Amino acid sequence: MQAVGLSGPVLIVAGNAAITRLAPTWAAAFAEAGWLHRVRAFGGESSRREIEALAREAAALGAAVIVAAGGGKTLDAARAAAAARRLPFVSCPTVCSTDAPTSALSVIYCDEGPTAGAVESLEIHRRSPDLVLVDTQVIADSPPRFLAAGIGDAMSTFYEARAAVAAGKPNMRGGRSTRAALELARLCRDVVLEHGVAALEASHRHVPDNALEQVVEAATLLSGLGFESAGLAAAHAIHNGLTVVPAMHDALHGEKVAFGTLVQLALEQRAATAAAARVALESEAERVASFFVSTGLPVTLGQLGLPAETEATRVAVQAIAHRATTTGETIHNMPFPVDVAAVVAAIEAADSLGRRTLAAV
Ligand SMILES: [Zn+2]
């Protein structure tokens, strides 16, 4: 932290598992640096109330920096508290399940009343984290399912960036995308395709090797910079649609985004007018689906918790499509108009591709 010009006092906001594992390391490191530090256990929800409490604690400590160690909600709440206090922020993800650690975004949740647990708003802060620090041994010791989800989230980045750039839509900051952003997103996909399966094996063995290092960089840094600087499109909107289905509440963000990516590729196939483009998109979708199967990511509605061909599933698919196409959703960053009927057909096409791919294994 000294190397990037930061100094104490330090408020560390951390999940309980991170505290148990890392508190002795923090004590030793900050004692050596001569910095006062205080560890605060994260309250469990990235809510307004928790963010205000963290900001108050930072003020009381006279903190010069806020460090967050834990999962997505811990990072989001601490990032928002740092933004409120205009303090530097250090992001230390202990799982590699999304690309959020690198971003300047916080998802804020309600923590009381009938909507408790629901997303209240998405805040984009003034600055990106000052430092993103990932210990790949900590990632190797986290459940492989989280890493697979991170791979799913990372795979969507290029396809969404490609679509948003083709449509000339603004990025997450409201600015124009850059060539660099699209190339980072492409590199992210290529790294994950090349090393994803080996990284998951490393995660099962709890040994961080080169494959895991590469995938952690891709899923955290390249994906985070890629989505923020190039923009999101259909895959994340489909994810948001899937969140309305109670049967899918146990699915992780990256698992739903993986299926959303297949739905986006199906939308692109439907919209392609030239036969050659359709064939190319079809083989691209087949490659992505096979890769998802090899990493254990869901490729069918059934794997996400919706049984095939029931009336309840038909109703759920309609609800997903309505939610995914609401005004302001990133699905409207696709380079062609997308409506409910197109999404329903694309979900069915993605599910059928997923079932064919699973059957071929
Ligand atoms: Zn995501």
| Full residue range of the structural domain in which residue 120 is found | 2-133
Please identify every stretch of the chain with a pLDDT value under 50, giving residue numbers as ranges. none
Q: Do 161 and 105 belong to one domain?
A: no
- Residues around ligand 1, an ion, CB closer than 5 A: 153
- Of 111, 195, 236, 351, catalytic: 236
pLDDT, tens digit, for every residue of 303-355? 999 987 889 999 999 999 999 999 999 999 999 999 999 999 999 999 999 99
Concatenated DSSP letters for 237-292? HHHHHHTT-GGGTTS-HHHHHHHHHHHHHHHHHHH--SHHHHHHHHHHHHHHHHHH
Question: How many domains does the chain contain in total?
Answer: 2
125 is catalytic: no
Among candidate residues 145, 141, 157, the one with its CA nearest the CA of residue 206: 141
Model confidence, pTM: 0.93
Q: Do 77 and 114 belong to one domain?
A: yes
236 is catalytic: yes
- Of 76, 99, 111, 153, catalytic: 153
- Which pLDDT score is estimated for 102? 95
pLDDT, tens digit, for every residue of 198-226? 999 999 999 999 999 999 999 999 999 99
Q: Do 255 and 316 belong to one domain?
A: yes
Instruction: Say if 138 falls within a structural domain.
Output: no
- Which pLDDT score is estimated for 279? 95
Q: Do 126 and 153 belong to one domain?
A: no
- Which pLDDT score is estimated for 111? 85
Final residue before a domain boundary, out of 75, 105, 133:
133
Q: Do 267 and 221 belong to one domain?
A: yes
Q: Do 183 and 328 belong to one domain?
A: yes
Final residue before a domain boundary, out of 99, 133, 167:
133
Q: Do 29 and 96 belong to one domain?
A: yes
Q: What is the CATH number of the domain that holds 27?
A: 3.40.50.1970
- d(CA 155, ligand 1 centre) in Å: 10
Residue 119 in contact with residue 108, Cβ under 8 Å?
yes
253 is catalytic: yes
